[in-house]
Every structure is written in structure tokens, then in C-alpha cells.
Structure 1
């Protein structure tokens, strides 16, 4: 059986809705947290599929999180070998950094459910499944676009929402995996200052989650299913 490894940067940001299509594609899923003492010894080139999820830290906060440069070095080796890799939010920013791009704090927090504006490359990619679908955004950082990748979509606030390189690399700034996971309450409860700064009402965000979450996750699963189907055996 093919092996998929999920890197979890905080306990409440897991693979969520993407688990079903990954398992349906024949992968045996394992997970490791960056806080695990064994994380530094994991060869990130080995898994057939690597999935890196989100987290509240910034790629540039390496003094506070010494595992970040360690992860970036090993991730760069995997990307150089063109091994199948998916990055979500912080995971996407890690991919950009490992490819030589700058990751930095953006002008504002982007939090809430709204669609991605796909370009022509995006419409011709698995992201077509999330076209016009409100999906969750929750970030305040962004990145310069790496060399040799295709930009797939943007939002009003941030031009770099998704990119790919060939069939094996997909980086998503947004969270189409979230919408049915009860851990969403942990996101809200853990970020009162962030929500206040962004002018976001927690109850309104919960209501948007209830309204848009199921359709966002359904679209996200179709997106990941199509992406996985194009990976080499």
C-alpha cells in the first residue's frame, strides 16, 4: 500500500475533509506532529505522498520555532526529487519558502468564507471543483510566487492563493478541508485577538461555517481526488 505522511504543525489543524479522498486513493495515512521528538529524524523524501497542514506561526519565525528550518531543509530535498507533495496554508508557505520564495506578513488578516478567483490555469486544474464555492480562508501571511510554478488562483486580498508545479506539487493557501470538522471551534477559541483585529465576529464566523462548510468540503474532496488521480503510481 502507498504511504501518506501528514505533518501537523498544531494539534487542531489536521487533514480533516481531505482524509477521505486520500484513503480512497489507496494511501495508508500516518501522522507526525512537529512537536514530536522523532520529527527531526524523519526523512521527508520517503513517503509516497507528503501533506503539510496549517498553523498560526509564520515561516519567518524560525527563532521561536527551531523545527521550521529543519523542516524546510528536508522539504527542499523532497521537492528537488519531485515527490508528490500537498501544502495547505502554512504548508503552502513552507513549499514556497523551500523553493526559494519570500514568506512575509500580509497587509491584513483574511478570515472567512469566500470563493477563489481562478485564472485560466486554475480552471484547467483540479481547482475547477472549487470555482465559485465559498471556502475558508484563515491567514495573515503571504509569499512571492516561486520560479517555475503556475499560479492557479487569487482572492481580492491576496493574489497568490494557489500554485502547482507539474502534477506532483500543489500548494493551497485556503482551507477547503475545513467545514465539517468540530475542531473549528478550537480555531475560533484560540484566536480571539486575531478575530478582534480582523473585525470578525466569532458567532458570525460559526454561522458562515455552518452555511458554507459542507459544500466547501465536498468541493475540496473532489479537488483532491482529481489531483491524486493524476499522480504517478
Structure 2
């Protein structure tokens, strides 16, 4: 989670879930065989203007043939029907003692989406929401963790999680009971799956430009983000390629 200070956000009246279900039977050949390539649609939930850039995830969605609907928390959205829900970061928190009404509404919406057996990808705050929605927990850490870091305890089935990833958060996940923990950080679970839902604490979407824009938006002092930015920039192509391979693996082995 990326946290900023400022005005308290409006409480969404999340009407969220459309009752349409997606087909798992393809009618055209596609690398993502779990949906019809002519009708794949992804809904991306984010804020408007902070932590809202899709980066490498957006490139992957485009290459995979997804039409993307952007919905914004500030608009109190209802989620349209879709084959995939992607939830990005937020200045809000779902940590114990810090969770505000907008985040509680989002937790319930994600619970409904996931229990309906719909594919879900949560990144950073989106992973934290998924954990809380399914009985896990999130706690506030003493300090914000920003690093280009390797993950520990990687599930051999998902070796694509190996390598260094951009990590930026101050809330730590304990994955839900019964979930498969795919990787860890020293202080938190870093990747987990429950059925067709995946939560990733690392920002696999980040480019160095996204890091810089985000840091500028939340008015961070230069010395608090420059190291992460420089590490991502020095590994830009590798980070992009590994993000793509990881998404391919997750949706081939976990979500479809």
C-alpha cells in the first residue's frame, strides 16, 4: 500500500457486481484458453491520479486481447461484467485499526467477486483487500518498506516469482487460511492464491517512470524513493519480461 495524507475519501456506495458470468469454453484459439478471445474484458479498479498506472500489467492485458474498463474509487462505481478484475494500489488501508468505510466496502465487493469464482488479480492494496475478504489479516508496519527485493519461500510451481521485484508498502499481509502462499518477504506473505484469485504484494506493474510519478504525487523526499527508482531503471527490460512471464504463469496455472 502507498499511503498519503490529505482529505478523507468519500465512502463508496459500491453497488459493484453484475450478475453475468463468463464462459470458460473458448470459441477461438488464444493463449488464454479460459475465455473467448473475442470477448475478453478486464475491469481495473484504482484511484484516479495516484497509484493508477497499469504499466507492465497493461501491456500484458493489451497483448492478451483484453478490452479494459477503468473504474475509479472516487466515482463510487458499480463494476461492469468482466472476465477479470484487477485491483491496484491505494492511499487507503485495510490494516487492523486503520480500515475506513471505503475500504470496508471494497473488501465486501471483492469477497462477492471471488466467491462467485471469478478471476481476480490484486496488486499491493488489491492483495491486502483479497486477504481481508477471505479471512486473512493485514497489519500496519512500523516503517514503510521500499526496495527492489527478492522474495523468499517461492513455490516451485511458480518459479517465475524468482528475481528482484519493486516493493512499496507499509501494511503487511498474512494470507487467508487455506490459501496457497506462493512467496514471502521477511515481514509478510508476498504472493498467494485462493481458487482463481491471486494476490501480489510486489508492484509487478512498476516502471521507473511510474515510481517517479508516484513519488512526486505523494510528495516523498527524494532520498526515500530514489534508490528504488534507480534499481528499477537499471533492470527495466528484465523487470518487464519477468512481469509478463509471471502473469502468463499465474493465469495458465492458477486462474483459468
Instruction: Give the alignment's TM-score, normalised by structure 1.
Output: 0.82
- Identify the residue that residue 175 of structure 2 maps to in structure 1: 145
Deviations 1:96-120 (A, max 9, x none): 011122222024321021111233x
Question: Quick check: 1:174 aligned with 2:205?
Answer: no
Asked if the contact 2:88–2:126 (Cα under 8 Å) also holds between the matched residues in 1, the reply is: yes
1:81 corresponds to which of 94, 111, 116: 116
Asked if the contact 1:76–1:98 (Cα under 8 Å) also holds between the matched residues in 2, the reply is: yes
Query: Which runs of 5 or more structure 2 residues have no equivalent in the other structure?
Result: 1-38
2:161 corresponds to which of 130, 135, 147: 130
- Listed as ranges, the matches of 1:57-206 within 5 Å are 57-60=92-95, 61-63=98-100, 66-119=101-154, 122-125=155-158, 128-131=159-162, 133-156=163-186, 158-166=187-195, 168-180=196-208, 182-192=209-219, 200-206=223-229
Asked if the contact 1:54–1:88 (Cα under 8 Å) also holds between the matched residues in 2, the reply is: yes
Asked if the contact 1:135–1:213 (Cα under 8 Å) also holds between the matched residues in 2, the reply is: no
- Identify the residue that residue 5 of structure 1 maps to in structure 2: 43
Cα–Cα, structure 1 residues 72 and 201, in superposed 2: closer, same or farther, change >3 Å?
closer
CA distance in 1 between counterparts of 2:111 and 2:226 reads 40
Aligned pair count reads 214
- Identify the residue that residue 73 of structure 2 maps to in structure 1: 34
CA distance in 1 between counterparts of 2:135 and 2:229 reads 37
* Cα distance, 1:10 vs structure 2: 4.7
Query: Which runs of 5 or more structure 1 residues have no equivalent in the other structure?
Result: none
Asked if the contact 1:85–1:169 (Cα under 8 Å) also holds between the matched residues in 2, the reply is: yes
Instruction: Give the alignment's TM-score, normalised by structure 2.
Output: 0.76
RMSD: 2.1
CA distance in 2 between counterparts of 1:73 and 1:29 reads 23
Q: Secondary structure at the match of 1:161?
A: strand
Question: Quick check: 1:219 aligned with 2:247?
Answer: no
